[in-house]
Structure 1
Amino acid sequence: MTTTSEPIVADGIVVVDKPAGLTSHTVVARVRRLAGTRKVGHAGTLDPMATGVLVVGVNRATRLLGHLQLADKSYDATLLLGSTTTTDDAEGSLVTTASPEAVAAVSDEAIAVAVEDYRGEISQIPSKVSAIKVDGKRAYERVRAGEEIELKARSVTISRYDVLAVRRVEQGLEIDISVDCSSGTYIRALARDLGAQLGVGGHLTALRRTRVGGFDLSAAHTLEALGDKFVLLPIAEVAAETFPRFDADADQEVAIRTGRPLAGLKLTEGETAMFAPDGTFLALYAPHGPLAKPSAVFVG
């Protein structure tokens, strides 16, 4: 791991603990200033109200983001049963409110039974204020413009859905949950659908992403901390920990640097990180019949 308090020009990954109230785009802008480079991008957008893990690439590592195994994610969240909103979360306007009697009739056992229906592979309709594009325009943009839209259900996987606590409060039922899920899962939709199934409505009131792929909160840093000491996971370190490794000889290095196919290599399925004799991360290669061909080359 490389640390520095000065502007950097290195290639690597920064794991940010995003605060509430900032867009992912704003976080990227902050990291650009801290890193001293314009070449910064992020993987896996977080809504402004959400906090937690945002994986940010710096310089050539921006191109690595699309190759990292970032499909599996983990979240801690709080749902409020008893009311619905226009956005399926606390930032929207109130739409419906269930009677106190209806909310009181929802038992802890009923919640546990209902949650079972959302474990495993499920069909989920995303929130209408999601970033999904409808005819080339973001769904939330169409909704905010007053349009009525219908989004299609999609298949997602919930590998873990734990109910941590249930609290009976004045506003309804607060439920703390912890979820492991596939990319494309909307936790707001889980809140909406659980409330609908229990007959009282529901929405999301707090969301914290605790993991994206192999990056979790233990590796994350607040923007304030990064301002004091910029912490970068070097691209070579990330590649070596994420992909199978192949150490090239001098002749192979020359070929890899120019993206030429290589014969006679027995690479595993998927992508392999190719390294030079001096430890420089060169490229990602994958098997194509008798040859190994580049998926992406990271050196000039």
Structure 2
Amino acid sequence: MHAPRTRVQRRPVHGVLLLDKPLGLSSNQALQKAKWLLRAEKAGHTGTLDPLASGVLPLCFGAATKFSQLHLDADKTYETTVRLGVKTSTGDAEGDVIQSRPVECSVGQVVEVLDRFMGPIEQIPPMHSALKKDGKALYEYARDGETVEREPRRVVIHDLELLDMQLQGDSPELRLRVRCSKGTYIRTLGEDIGDALGCGGHLTMLRRTATGPFDVSQCIGLDALEALSAEERTDPLLPVQTLLQGHEAVTLDADHAGRFLSGLRRRGDWADSPRVAVFGPPPADHPAVASSLSPVLLGSAHTMAGELIPGRLLSPIEIQQILETSPELSS
């Protein structure tokens, strides 16, 4: 007989965990493992990272999930290795080899080709991607041996740095650092660079080192998180308002804060701003008031024509839980 499974007692957890996702796990698998380790009730991520890629994956818990969409549009930075001379069916090392060609390009040609891919470019999404066509993910068509027509997508390569290269020997390759807009497929970029050099290529390594303001040096791995005690595992969490970096900050008094949390617009002498983070005093009946007057996050908004217009709002219960479980997150 199998021993009965221990049921995990979930708890309210609010904040952002910067995870260094390991190779081999999908973004959702990494999220579910972190959610289990934290015993969190609610969690989500800010955009997927391929199983064959490692690196920065911001995970949102509790109230932070309300603002996760803000980081889907963030620029990303990757380090990658492009193996030249060999094309695969998937554009990475997991696929079958479909073409091999000699590598006969020069250093000058590499530099010229990389310059060509700087700035706005168009990419055709790879078949092995989660992008949907007619309600079905492209990778599902690919699994069935089908290739469907895809519309080119416009993306921006902000920076394309050559870190190292080896054009001779058995494994010619380029090591690159890419800073790009959302929606950029690095596998496709690697393939297109290889094609432009006349030899083809595929990715053998991909690591995301930054997304928006978050850098891999700030991240924690799943193994390190698991090694912490159950009580310590919330220590790496960043405050919910971490997701609102770059927003204008507006602090309301108690009366206006209560009305704002009810979804009502507030009038004031605010300049127009599309991105506002709104703060207010802790609830009057909370013990934090006795020890600290630090404002707490109420939600997001925008200001227009002297009005503060609510966006995504925290609930009073979420604010109470943040103060009760992690008082430091409210400062």
Indicate the SS of the match to 1:233.
coil
**What residue in structure 2 maps to residue 258 of structure 1?**
262
Q: Distance in 1 between matches of 2:266 and 2:45?
A: 32
Between Structure 1 and Structure 2, whose CA radius of gyration is higher? Answer: 2
Root mean square deviation, CA, Å: 1.8
**What residue in structure 2 maps to residue 233 of structure 1?**
238
Q: Distance in 2 between matches of 1:67 and 1:160?
A: 22
Listed as ranges, the gaps of 5+ residues in structure 1 are: 1-5
1:204, distance to aligned residue in structure 2 (A)? 0.7
C-alpha distance after superposition, 1:96-154 (max 9, x if no partner): 0003xxx1x21111111101111011111121211111111111111111212121111
Higher relative contact order (CA closer than 8 Å, sequence separation 6+): 1
Aligned residues: 290
Q: Distance in 1 between matches of 2:157 and 2:163?
A: 16
1:185, distance to aligned residue in structure 2 (A)? 0.5
1:164, distance to aligned residue in structure 2 (A)? 0.8
After TM superposition, the structure 1 stretch with the greater mean CA deviation from structure 2, 261-270 or 219-228, is 261-270
Which structure 1 residue ranges, 4+ long, deviate > 3 Å from structure 2?
A: 168-172, 239-242
Q: Please tell me whether the aligned partners of residues 74 and 212 of structure 2 are also in contact (alpha carbons under 8 angstroms).
A: yes
1:51 corresponds, among 54, 79, 94, to: 54
**What residue in structure 1 maps to residue 63 of structure 2?**
60
Listed as ranges, the gaps of 5+ residues in structure 2 are: 1-8, 283-294, 317-331
Indicate the SS of the match to 2:32.
helix
Q: Distance in 1 between matches of 2:143 and 2:99?
A: 19
Do residues 281 (structure 1) and 297 (structure 2) align? yes
Q: Distance in 2 between matches of 1:62 and 1:31?
A: 14
Q: Percent identity?
A: 35
**What residue in structure 2 maps to residue 96 of structure 1?**
99
**What residue in structure 1 maps to residue 121 of structure 2?**
122
User: What is the TM-score of this pair, normalised by structure 2?
Assistant: 0.83
Q: Distance in 2 between matches of 1:179 and 1:142?
A: 29
Instruction: Summarize the Cα distance change of 1:259–1:204 in structure 2 as closer, same or farther, 3 Å threshold.
Output: same
Higher strand proportion, which one?
Answer: 1
After TM superposition, the structure 1 stretch with the greater mean CA deviation from structure 2, 182-191 or 146-155, is 146-155
Q: Distance in 2 between matches of 1:94 and 1:239?
A: 41
